[in-house]
Amino acid sequence: MRRLSSICAMRKQAQAWRDSGLSIALVPTMGALHAGHAALMRRARRLADRVVVSVFVNPIQFGPREDLAQYPRTAKRDAALCRDMGVDAIFFPSVADMYAADHSVFVEETALSRTLCGRTRSGHFRGVCTVVLKLFNIVQPHFAVFGQKDAQQVAVVRRMARDLNCPVRILVVPTVRESDGLALSSRNARLTPAERAVAPALWRALQAARRLCRSKRCSPPAVRKEMEAVLRAYGRTIAIEYIEMAEPRTLRPVQTVGRGTLIALAARIGTVRLIDNVVV
């Protein structure tokens, strides 16, 4: 496995692979890799001749009061997992290389980014789109693999790739969960044992919503009420940020919740913000 920190070296390697007729799949990550990322790498491995995992904690997608400083960094373990998964190159550029001191160009998606997480995380998807487009330009992948847990990110990146004519296919891998249903996330490491014990409530609330909507078409307020009842059983431990029902590609709110509707949830447990979703 090649370990590349320079943008120039990564670009040269990608070009050499392309010149030899090899296809490339990119798995963009912020490190602190876990079994969810391993599932993305497995999918990438099946898709393409060469797999690149980028590890870059992208400062511009964090707001001023968000957890950039606390975001877990586990470089050695990340490299070991990538090696075990048969990754061909791990790309870990520095912040200074990715963003010149006078960096002044950003990519902004202006519709899908405004809902769900975009309401409270202003600038987040601008940061995501900017870094993902930079990674596409550097790694020149034929495929890019993302996780369903970040359903809004998937929709926004797809829209960016479509609107800016990026020659890359976006693929989505189902969320990987702990045995109690908690969606794997690098942020789970920041939960205290007591917080970790209540965190599966998010999945329970989503399952309750899905059960309700499988038996009959429901209104969004009825689904929200059902989910809030599950989450409120934990008292004030879980602070709900949003519960939304939308069409997965456009993120437009739906009038009735039925087959194919995205039910998305964001909540804070202590200082940790968690998101999860299901598609009915």
Q: Which residues lie near ligand PAF (CB under 6 A)? A: 28-30, 58, 61, 128, 131-132, 150, 153
Shortest distance (Å) from residue 229 CB to ligand PAF: 31
Nearer to ligand PAF, 127 or 220 (CB): 127
Least Å distance, CB 226 to ligand PAF, is 29
CB 30 within 8 A of CB 57: yes
User: Is 142 considered catalytic here?
Assistant: no
Phi, psi of 53 (to 5 degrees): -110, 125
Catalytic residue (one of 34, 37, 103, 124): 37
Q: Which is nearer to ligand PAF, 172 or 201 (CB)?
A: 172
Beta strands of the chain (E only): which ranges? 2-4, 24-29, 50-55, 89-91, 143-147, 169-173, 238-246, 262-269, 272-279
**177: Cβ–Cβ under 8 A, 6 or more apart, which residues?**
183, 184, 203
Question: Quick one: 129 or 191, whose CB is closer to ligand PAF?
Answer: 129
Dihedral, 56, 57, 59, 61 alpha carbons, nearest 10: 100
CB 26, min distance to ligand PAF, A: 10
How far is it, in rounded angstroms, from Cα 11 to Cα 179? Answer: 40
Nearer to ligand PAF, 56 or 203 (CB): 56
Least gap, CB of 258 to ligand PAF (angstroms): 28
Catalytic residues: 37
